[in-house]
């Protein structure tokens, strides 16, 4: 936990960010977890994954924009991704953070930008998943997505199992027919709102996962944890749930062996493919989540 907290703190350190981003070695190593800095890089990675029977969620990295111009630029970039999906017929949808669409500027700005993005997604029949960020945004994110779904049914969101409130959120969202991506959570949260022990986070993940598998609308079980995956597979077998009624999701560059194994077993697999120049905070969160990722970066940075 101390290592995780340190890495999450460093993810917000501007001096370290500038050093890492400008360093050629770390930029090269980051390509293990980030497809590249432009959309064409992400499209190339997507085609390679599609060739392995794996679908993709495209994520333009960048969050907490402070100007309307930056938010509009993010909308244009995502619209370009949607249009590329349609033009090239790659098997992909998109993920977006509301702070990239201007939530820190104002809720009205964010909602306007999200509506524009969702209208383009609906026009091209491309699903849009609204990512969940730190807990300070949870309530607003759920409320914005619930309202948006009334007009744009192809929108979904993410729920984090380390938050105490997540079961209540899932019950409400499932009742509305919302597509949900279940994750453990990758931000530092206080003990009064989030489980601090891995065992508690895992236990809650399994409980929420079972609700989604039994009653959800094509949920995404997003994890690299084989214990969680085994629990999901056992649950669907025991309850006669079709493998095609949900999907597993993993992150680009992590557990590629397990991705292939699940595809061979007949499960839907989607890989979250991040791209863009703002990759430093994302990379640090991946290091915090899994020590093996940190060891990969340290080892490869010096070889």
Q: Is the pLDDT of residue 252 over 60?
A: yes
Choose between 26 and 147: higher pLDDT. 147
Question: Do 138 and 163 meet the contact criterion of CB atoms below 8 Å apart?
Answer: yes
The confidence score (pLDDT) of residue 123 equals 97
Q: Is the pLDDT of residue 77 over 70?
A: yes
Other residues' Cβ atoms within 10 Å of the Cβ of residue 88: 12
Smallest CA-to-CA distance from 284 within 273, 293, 275 is with: 293
The confidence score (pLDDT) of residue 230 equals 97
Smallest CA-to-CA distance from 161 within 151, 169, 152, 153 is with: 169
What residues are paired with 58 via a beta bridge? 94, 273
* Distance separating alpha carbons of residues 47 and 68, to the nearest angstrom: 33
The confidence score (pLDDT) of residue 186 equals 78
Q: Is the pLDDT of residue 291 over 70?
A: no
The confidence score (pLDDT) of residue 284 equals 66
4-13, 139-148, 167-176: range with lowest mean pLDDT: 4-13
Q: What's the rounded mean pLDDT across residues 255-272?
A: 96
Q: What's the rounded mean pLDDT across residues 96-120?
A: 98
pTM equals 0.86
Residues comprising the chain, all counted: 303
Residues catalogued as catalytic: 131, 181
The confidence score (pLDDT) of residue 34 equals 86
Choose between 8 and 169: higher pLDDT. 169
């Amino acid at each position: 936990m101390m290592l995780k907290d340190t890495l999450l703190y460093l993810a917000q350190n501007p001096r370290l960010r500038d050093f890492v981003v400008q360093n050629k070695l770390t930029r090269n190593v980051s390509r293990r977890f980030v497809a590249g800095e432009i959309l064409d890089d992400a499209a190339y990675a997507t085609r390679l994954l599609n060739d392995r029977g794996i679908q993709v969620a495209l994520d333009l990295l960048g969050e907490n924009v402070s100007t309307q111009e930056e938010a509009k630029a993010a909308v244009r970039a995502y619209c370009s991704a949607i249009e590329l999906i349609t033009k090239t017929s790659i098997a992909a949808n998109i993920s977006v953070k509301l702070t990239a669409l201007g939530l820190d500027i104002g809720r009205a700005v964010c909602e306007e930008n999200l509506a524009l993005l969702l209208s383009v997604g609906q026009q091209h029949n491309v699903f849009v998943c609204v990512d969940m960020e730190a807990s300070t945004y949870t309530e607003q994110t759920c409320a914005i997505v619930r309202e948006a779904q009334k007009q744009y049914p192809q929108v979904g969101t993410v729920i984090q199992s380390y938050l105490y409130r997540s079961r209540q959120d899932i019950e409400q969202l499932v009742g509305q027919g919302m597509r949900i991506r279940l994750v453990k959570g990758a931000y530092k949260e206080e003990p009064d709102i989030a489980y601090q022990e891995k065992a508690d986070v895992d236990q809650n993940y399994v409980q929420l996962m079972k609700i989604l598998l039994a009653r959800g609308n094509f949920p995404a079980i997003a994890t690299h944890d084989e214990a969680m995956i085994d629990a999901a597979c056992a649950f669907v077998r025991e309850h006669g749930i079709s493998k095609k009624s949900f999907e597993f999701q993993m992150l680009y560059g992590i557990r590629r062996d397990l991705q292939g194994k699940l595809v061979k077993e007949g499960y839907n697999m989607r890989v979250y493919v991040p791209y863009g120049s703002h990759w430093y905070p994302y990379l640090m969160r991946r290091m915090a989540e899994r020590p093996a990722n940190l060891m990969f970066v340290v080892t490869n940075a010096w070889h």
